[in-house]
Amino acid sequence: MTRTVWDSSVGKKTVMAVSGLIMLMYLVVHMFGNLKIFFGSGDFNHYAHWLRTLGEPFLHYEWALWIIRVVLVVAVVAHATAAYQLSRRDIRARPSKYVHKKPRSSYATRTMRWGGIILGLFIVWHILDLTTGTAHPGGFQSGHPYQNVIDTFSTWYGDVIYIVAMLALGLHIRHGFWSAAQTLGAGSRTRDRALKTIADVLALVLTVGFISVPVGVMTGLVS
């Protein structure tokens, strides 16, 4: 039964929709957490420490954080795999390109695939930079996330990579949220306008919220 659902295009789209919404919920929480950096190193470092003690004493140190990480990895892999397979299926069904582009397709729609690739590469860089410290500029300080963020966004390439990725994220969310709603049966003639508005607002808020951190470091507001 599970295999049959996965093999169908509807099943893959459903997997993309559910995994996408899981990642979206995480991004909303993650953005609010990131904004704590504007309240100083004490608040930001305390928040990072709280994430590691979440669920104690029922859960051991960092268990909740690892559960979140595992769920996110599963969601990302499922999302990317379904997207790739649907893309390959679409290419096989249309071996020759359209003579005319769809007149009403948005910029976000046309860049969903490239946006996904950009975000995939960004996730790898982001983990190597601020989680493992492997690609971190300067000396990575475990347990001092505030200073690590300052280090990253004190470099021009750190700012460029992050801002480009967040712009791609905004476009991805703008189209992906509405598509997920359609796939899960939430769309209708009466609700489509509201869903598109919610998608636009979510995309804008998340993009601005995330980009405000490197901008804050660049302008000296965060130092």
Contacts of 150 (CB under 8 A, 6+ apart): 217, 222, 223
CB 196 within 8 A of CB 178: yes
Mapping DSSP to helix (H, G, I), strand (E, B) and coil, where does residue 1 land? Answer: coil
Q: Is the peptide bond before 95 cis (omega within 30 degrees of 0)?
A: no
Residue labelled with tokens 């099943």: 11
Share of the chain above pLDDT 90, in %: 66
CB 146 within 8 A of CB 45: yes
DSSP assignment of 122-154 equals HHHHHHHHHTS-TT-SS---TT-HHHHHHHHTT
Q: 189 pLDDT exceeds 80?
A: no
pLDDT band at residue 45 under the 50/70/90 scheme: very high
Report the chain's C-alpha Rg in angstroms. Answer: 19
pLDDT digits (tens, 9 = 90+) for 53-91: 999 999 999 999 999 999 999 999 999 999 888 888 877
Higher pLDDT, 96 or 209: 209
Report the alpha-carbon angle 99-105-107, nearest 5: 110
Helix residue ranges, H only, the chain: 2-7, 9-34, 41-53, 63-93, 107-110, 112-130, 145-152, 156-183, 192-218
